[in-house]
Structure 1
Amino acid sequence: MRILRVLPLAIRMVALVLLGVFATAALTALLARWLPPWQAAAIAALVAGTAMGLVVWRTFVPLRALFRALAGTVAGYRDGDFSFGITWDRYGDLIELVDAHNELGQTLRDQRLSLVQRELLLDTMVQNTPVAMLLLDPSRRVVLGNLAARRMLGDGRRLEGHSLDDLLQAAPPAVGEAFARGGDGMFTVGDEDREDIYHLARRMFRLNGRLHELVLLRQMTAELRRQEVQTWKKVIRVISHELNNSLAPIASLAHSGAELLRRGQHEKLPIALSTIEERARHLEGFLRDYARFAKLPAPRNEPTRLPPFVEKLRNQVDFAVDGTIPDEIVRFDPGQLEQALLNLLKNAHESGTAADTVSLAVRRIADGWRIDVLDRGSGMNEAVLANALLPFYSTKRSGTGLGLALAREIAEAHGGRIALLNRDGGGLCVSIVLPAQGGP
């Protein structure tokens, strides 16, 4: 019986048709003994057809139930209910369909369970991160605010449904000013006795077809304090090293000079005094570099012709001109830009390159002017390239780490930028880009 129940539906229908034809023929032959042939055939066909119709009806009743069940489970899947399953053991050619449907339901259940677990994990991470997070809808109302955001903007209360403008009115003024400026930025909350530094980041994205904004407020106080302490330690270390390197020989030479005077050996005094002067001037230049970096004034832009400006540089340090210098007038602070380029040219000469391979190029570009300082030294590895523009970072034993940092400060003060790139064939290219508004 089990084999008959799982026979394919097509085979069962063929067997039913053959059985009906055989039954009609047999019944016609039987009735033909008492009735005319055409009456016997009609009665036999009616009886056999009725019987076959009943069998077909009973056969398709379970199929209709199966199709309704399949339609119901699909509707449940559409509504997010994956708890349905179907049992079927009647027709073999439909068992695969039912099994595939059940496997789909199990897969959807597993995926939903995994998604729920991930959502729980993500929600736990979002709620417990120290970064204050706000999700805003197009009307600037809070859709989601984590615990850090509640503590910062709502005194611990839930923020969902509140207007961001209302929350900012109750927040410290510095927070509202940071949002009013737009974009990312840093701001400080509190006074000198208790000061907290925050970084504001804002990103736009689409959620369910609507534009939303994600706001991140990260407290940077501890991290910046650590960086500040590390920077001060390095500054003190560098200054202490430089002072010791200069003051120790000065003290020694001063003592030696006093001994020479006492002994009457005056002919050696000029050498000692010359060395003292050299070390004192070196120390003076070292301290002047630090002071210049710490007190860089705002640039005073003035119209400057490029050829005389480059020629003035060549009177102070040797370099070749790559191409031709455009005979045009550009607005910038000649003193500051001269200092930045002198630092870059001196670095190029100290890179191990031949003196005649140091060159300077000035070119007009789409967004302004580009000044390249090129050498054929050893270049920089990835680690040095990543840190070379940081203040007090130097790979030289006697370096202050201020040359490139000062050049960067000057370029950015002019609204431009500085970039470092290793050249094909060896060497380094340092580019200062001045914006178009700095043009004539």
Structure 2
Amino acid sequence: MSIVDKQTLADLNVTNNRYKDMVDFFDCTVTLGGRDMLFGYFLEPLSSKWEIECRQHLILFMQEVEISGLLDKYMMQDLEKYLSLPQEPYSPSRATYYLEMVSTNFLSLDFKKREILVKRSIHEIAKITDGLAHFLASAKSNGHTIEILEDYHKHIDCVLEEIDRDEFKQLLNNKFSKELMIKYDYLFRNIKRNTIREIFDVLYHLDALFSVAKSIKGKNLVFPQIEEKTGGEDMITIRGAYNLFIEDAIKNDVEIKKENNLWYLTGANMTGKSTLLKTIGSCVYLTHLGFPVPADAMKTVLFDGISATINLGDNINAGASHFFNEVLRVKHLAELLASGKRMFILMDELFKGTNHSDASEATLELVNCLKGYKNSVFLLSSHITEICPILYKDGIALKYLGVQLDEMEGIIFTYRLLDGVAEEKLGMWLLHKERVFEILRKVNLETGQN
């Protein structure tokens, strides 16, 4: 999936939520680089079945291993500082570099201060390289042939090639001379600088994947199955989908086929429409990250992009009203669909920035246009129910969330997904229950008598 925008990330609580977002949920990283890598995963959804299944396998593999010994937040901060030191002036050989260092810097106060950082960093880089080499060799010997692990091992081999094994052992034992320190400082920070950076990235990737593996232990999440047959009838099937951020959340089954790829979800405020859209959208989004989803089981096709319009606001700086922002957003989605993109689209209470009659007409026209794009999925929620008989005749899937009205307990929101149209008039029911009109009429009568 290559198409995602800031509005969608915000609406699905992917990043930068005021309370808790998906990154926070999966973040058990140790290093700052690992957290940056995890954050990057969320900004770059994957686009192929192979990529997704590869990451799924990696996360499952990371549940079986223990790499905490390789991860040290403060050590990596020091190593990043070390690797960011300015590269030394070019020298034709290590020998001339060594002579220049000894003659110009060896007796200087600056060299003495930096010597501690340099020596410790060389030792730690050797430890990380050796630790990763043993970890990846162990994974291979145990039958884990995930291609990305092979790629990681190539980066390790690039560091170790042309390195004297006896000298490397001295670096591991942290017992090496100033001559070796200068030699390997030149090697690590100049000749193999980019390769060392790749080693750090391998460690950060493992930290991020290990973080996801740790975060899902003991939780009811499942890895989705990816369908490659784009011509099939089933597009998305989710059993027991629930919201990741709601404790004891109600689970719902979701089945979206090609013939009913457009849902029209009705109901009053507080019935759970927005939450349901976010729940389904989160499952689809996490699938494209190669992450497990909050459900009992899931099977889905892949999409070129996902777009959510749930909490769209005004653009004061651009002088754009809420309704104009809605129009621009729909136009952008129309252009993507017209270009042939397979999209997963969520729209919550669209056209609420205009009057009811205008919104009703616009919604009906939009649905009529969207229903022809059978390779995409559209989930629309609305208060507008008068167009539902027309939509039903056109084969649109009508859905609502169950509500029970009880004189003693009040409104009971079941949050259960049902077929049909929401017919409860919750506003009038609440107004009558609270005797609002009765109070007003009584006041009017009393005023009239006076």
TM-score class normalised by the smaller sequence: under 0.3
Q: Which has the larger radius of gyration?
A: 1
- Comparing both structures, which one devotes a greater share of its residues to helix? 1
